[in-house]
Amino acid sequence: MILEVSLEKRFPNFHYVADFAVLGDRIGVFGKSGSGKSTLVQMLAGLVAPDKGTIRLDGEVLFDSEKRICLAPEQRRIAVVFQHAHLFPHLNVQRNLFYGYRRTPPAERRIDPEGLCRVLDIQPLLKRGVNTLSGGERQRVALGRALLSCPRLILLDEPLTGLDDGLKYQIIPYLQKVFSEFNIPFLFVSHSLNEMRLLAEEVLVFEKGRLKGRTSAEELARQRLGTSQVGYINLLKLLRPQPDGDLWAYAWGDNRLILTEPGQKDENLFEISSKDITLFKRHPEASSARNLFHCRVSSIFEVGNRIGVELDCNGQKLVSQVVGEAVQDLGIRTGGEIYAIIKASAFRRLY
């Protein structure tokens, strides 16, 4: 997908300016609330008319103030998944799902409804009324409804924001699965860094109605190291948990990690802050922490007064943070060897 945007819109107390072109299928739009993310979504979908500028999607002009072109929302074939799902309350799940599908010309119906229902796990819900659904179910139905309209682009406008953490990370695998399987480009709008890292390849950062920069989600997470108290968040995909005494052992690539968190599913996602990874120059003979790795320093980056140390633990990446003085004391250099220890209780389950 190629999306070229050059827009301006004035509100009574807000001036929105955006000028960018992106190439890719998984674009993130990141910014705090009030940064203009939702304004962008509304203008792209044709729900709000910009004051001036142009929007082009894959070369086709959707909006051009000079040529007086402004396609209606239904002509753009851009679907939106809203923060609060906005399912039609008078229709059941099935009729909600097929709302867009029935309005798509048969020749353009690229998505197989049955396959989609299977991927999203919504077959058992089809006959239910939408008011009986849980928050997570509602979002899955809203996602299915948008996908079934076979759009050229899906705008995900903070679809996970209203959900609690547990639910949120249950939906993310569905999103990943659905978009890789059905191959539809999306623009994912969120103020959550973790969501960005799990879903977006390239990230546009907005601040106060302006595009502040474009970067990768990983880079964004690294910048957080210097500004945020929580540090850099490592996302670890841990597999095949097995009981180990009263603790649990998970497979992390070729490594074995000991966690206090019991495992039920085969695939799990945990987060761990860079602050919870302690570095040692030599092998500490004994430590209270349950996880000890001998690793290689693959890179060092400085953010503010903190230094991020990227480690390679048998092929798995991990970022720890230290202060400048510690770099001297430990003799940390790129390519050098080092020991990292992590407490079994430092991990937080995402899903």
Which parts of this chain interact with another protein (CB under 8 A)?
A: 45-47, 72-74, 76-80, 82, 84, 86, 88-90, 92, 99-100, 103-104, 129, 131-132, 145-146, 149
CA distance 86 to 158: 13
Q: Which is nearer to another protein, 77 or 290 (CB)?
A: 77
Q: Which is nearer to another protein, 128 or 317 (CB)?
A: 128
Minimum separation from the CB atom of position 49 to another protein (A): 11
Minimum separation from the CB atom of position 162 to another protein (A): 13
Minimum separation from the CB atom of position 157 to another protein (A): 10
Minimum separation from the CB atom of position 59 to another protein (A): 21
Minimum separation from the CB atom of position 182 to another protein (A): 16
CA distance 234 to 218: 10
Q: Which is nearer to another protein, 11 or 88 (CB)?
A: 88
Q: Which is nearer to another protein, 131 or 264 (CB)?
A: 131
Q: Which is nearer to another protein, 84 or 317 (CB)?
A: 84
